[in-house]
Structure 1
Amino acid sequence: MAAQARKGGISLPERRNPKKEGDGVIAKLAQSEIVIRGKQAANDAAFVTKKLMKSTGKAAWIAGTSFLILVVPLIIAMDREQQLNELELQQANILGAAPPQK
């Protein structure tokens, strides 16, 4: 004879349908006007922060490259000029001549 399936055992309580609207305190709280406005404010703040970070990054890139192109060659030229002046002063001291008047 074929074995019959056992009946009995532990039965679980029926689960609630989580998609029911307005079911429970948490669902009501999540649909409240304050929570909705808070989520919208957080969303807006994140959007503004993202835009600000993007534009700040672009501005930093522009400032950095402008500094490299315009200021660094000027600093190098001024350093060369200073080294040349020091060399002339050292040569004048070695030869015993008076330092050049400015």
Structure 2
Amino acid sequence: MAGKKGSSGVLARVTRTVSDSPIVSHTKRTASDAAFVTKKLLKSTGKAAWIAGTTFLILVVPLIIEMDREQQFTELELQQQSLLGAPPVVAGQK
């Protein structure tokens, strides 16, 4: 039993020495800084995505709907003209 206690004391001393080394503390500090920067980056990216998505919904979606309505109206006019026997009007000519 005495041999096991002595070997665990050496192991504890080595572990403590490694844990207290400047390389380990520098690595921990760097990992902490990286986690902080990543958290801030994700937060700001989320805000930017929210702004971009909201802007898209407010400005672009109504434009797409209006363009679709205009296209449907143009197709309806062409269909009515062809049923009435008038020659079809090519887009850009009137």
> What TM-score bracket applies, with the shorter chain setting the length?
0.7 to 0.9
- Whether 2:26 is the aligned partner of 1:37: answer yes
The equivalent position to 1:62 in structure 2, one of 37, 42, 51, is 51
Identity %: 66
In structure 2, what is the Cα distance between the partners aligned to 1:29 and 1:91?
A: 86
Instruction: Give the superposition deviation at 1:98.
Output: 1.4
Instruction: Give the superposition deviation at 1:60.
Output: 0.2
Gaps in structure 2 of 5+ consecutive residues:
6-11
Specify the code of the residue in structure 2 equivalent to 1:29. Answer: V
List aligned pairs for 1:70-89, cutoff 5 A: 70-89=59-78
In structure 1, what is the Cα distance between the partners aligned to 2:20 and 2:44?
A: 35
Q: TM-score, normalised by structure 1?
A: 0.76
Please say which structure displays the higher CA radius of gyration. Answer: 1
Aligned length: 83
What CA RMSD, in Å, does the superposition of the two structures yield over aligned residues? 1.6
Which has the larger share of helix? 2
Q: TM-score, normalised by structure 2?
A: 0.83
Gaps in structure 1 of 5+ consecutive residues:
1-11, 17-22
Greater relative contact order structure (CA < 8 Å, 6+ sep) = 2
Q: List, as ranges, runs of 4+ consecutive aligned residues in structure 1 with deviation greater than 2 Å.
A: none
Instruction: Give the superposition deviation at 1:99.
Output: 1.8
